[in-house]
Structure 1
């Protein structure tokens, strides 16, 4: 009798724990895009679309009948993603084009080809990124995370901006991160992190740059047909963490993996806020905002809301990538 009660108690405990885990998993997964809007006739560019949330975004927007340009660094993986996305979306209007955000010349070549070959661009999703890598440099000598996450997208957006303005309704979406709030200042004195390099601190700095870039871009676009918003996709199980896990021994990985499986979003779940910002009808004229879990959120730090910091970052960024500055 006692044994049966013990077994019953254990069974109930396991069931309760299971329900709690499912609840937690759904809670941390965040919101979903409920819009059914189609994108027939629209052209979308997504950077880093060969994997992770970029690929999931590409699949969904291709399903909605958009022409999707996969702007990716690796030709082999880019072409493989093109084939896979065509199969999963049922659309043949998916094309790979080479873009290496760690090379300003590559950004310029990509932009030139797009401007020559595309009649219009309706949505630009600056999604690609690198996180917590060793102290690497881009082709042009910039710190890798700041160079790829911010400067590459900054140049790309500016080079395409006149073409974007030609379309009747355009959205620019910058994939940032909640990590912006862990960076309390813009290192104007050391944008390349030459004096001090801590991988995650530098990543957070680049994500703050994404938020401030969006803020200043939206200000400059007031009165046009182009909107610009940034977002936090959530904590996702993607290749973005490739430089984190390899540094762990096998025992720590055994401890961390169950937590990752339970708490982290899948790439499909992580793509929902990007998709929402790209298609939701109610966001057509919304600009200069920050989103998470498919909802507008308030920026939580003083620096992330600083117009002065945003303007200063824009000016320095333009100088770094060789753009003529105009306000």
Structure 2
């Protein structure tokens, strides 16, 4: 059954490609006022028109200063938020840093959704059924939070950095649910989706991801759980992890409440209290 969202305002990050694009399109089809965030102005404008988005904001979310700016723009231009879909993310085979000097995986995959959510909480508090949907991955099962070196300044591994960030996504979603009981905060694994993910790295890494894409599911299939968590009216759970629209148990490290609280404190130190 298709759920109507005619009274909802939704913000979707990473919405110019893959499951973010499908999520934005399908929520707009259900009547939601959808706002998307993208990096490239031209592409973002085209996608906004294609998916029926009400507005489009431009930001490189790996840069914390731009996360703050886009949150301020959203508060000023839109002024209402019912559902935030933290979808943007990437994999970096080689260690890179943002202009702000933070390792890219840590900045984009974890700090950006942490900061954006925090900046938009005042609007979520005003919503009747506020929701935060954070796209993680079953890669979290291979991750651990390197509290002493989360940016992998020593011994960088693209896979380890990615797995750490996806574990951080679940810990963040769970701690947000604990701190904000009025906000439904859940995370999910979309599956191995054919979206062009990983192709940004070039060389052998890009070829490997292209091979994986042959066996991957479609963006339409991968977006189903994000859409479910954003739109299902009977959803009552918070702080949970979903796969294929069903709640599943994440890895033991993702259920460590002490680590979740410690990660929150570390994240505040990065973005400023």
TM-score under structure 2 length normalisation: 0.95
Q: 1:215-254 counterparts in 2 under 5 A?
A: 215-222=174-181, 224=182, 226-243=183-200, 246-247=203-204
User: Would the aligned equivalents of 1:229 and 1:287 in 2 still touch at CA under 8 Å?
Assistant: yes
Cα deviations by residue, 1:156-209 (Å, 9 ceiling, x for unpaired): 0000001111011111000000000011x3100001110110111110011001
User: Would the aligned equivalents of 2:16 and 2:43 in 1 still touch at CA under 8 Å?
Assistant: yes
Larger C-alpha radius of gyration, 1 or 2? 1
User: Would the aligned equivalents of 1:129 and 1:240 in 2 still touch at CA under 8 Å?
Assistant: no
Q: Distance in 2 between matches of 1:235 and 1:249?
A: 15
Q: What is the match of residue 207 of structure 1?
A: 166
Q: What is the match of residue 194 of structure 1?
A: 153
Q: Distance in 1 between matches of 2:86 and 2:173?
A: 11
Q: Does 1:274 align with 2:240?
A: no
Q: Does 1:37 align with 2:34?
A: no
Q: Does 1:260 align with 2:213?
A: yes
Q: Distance in 2 between matches of 1:120 and 1:172?
A: 14
Question: Displacement, 1:279?
Answer: 1.0
Q: Provide the aligned length of Structure 1 versus Structure 2.
A: 273
Q: CA RMSD in A?
A: 1.7
Q: Distance in 1 between matches of 2:79 and 2:96?
A: 37
Question: Displacement, 1:302?
Answer: 2.2
Question: Displacement, 1:296?
Answer: 0.5
Q: What is the match of residue 10 of structure 1?
A: none
Higher relative contact order (CA 8 A, sep 6+): 1
Going by fraction, where is helix more abundant, 1 or 2? 1
Question: Displacement, 1:228?
Answer: 0.1
Q: Distance in 2 between matches of 1:94 and 1:40?
A: 13
Q: Does 1:121 align with 2:121?
A: no
Q: What is the match of residue 61 of structure 1?
A: 27
Q: Distance in 2 between matches of 1:245 and 1:140?
A: 24
Q: 1:78-227 counterparts in 2 under 5 A?
A: 78-86=44-52, 93-183=53-143, 185-222=144-181, 224=182, 226-227=183-184
Question: Displacement, 1:231?
Answer: 0.1
Cα deviations by residue, 1:97-142 (Å, 9 ceiling, x for unpaired): 1122111111111111111222310000000001134211112111
Q: Distance in 2 between matches of 1:146 and 1:249?
A: 21
* Runs of 4 or more above 3 Å deviation: 243-246
Q: What is the match of residue 26 of structure 1?
A: none
Q: 1:249 to 1:269 in 2, by over 3 A?
A: closer
Q: Which runs of 5+ in 2 are unaligned?
A: none
TM-score under structure 1 length normalisation: 0.80
Q: Which runs of 5+ in 1 are unaligned?
A: 1-34, 87-92
Question: Displacement, 1:315?
Answer: 0.2
Q: Distance in 1 between matches of 2:84 and 2:197?
A: 20
Name which of structure 1's ranges 65-74 and 227-236 shifts more when overlaid on structure 2: 65-74
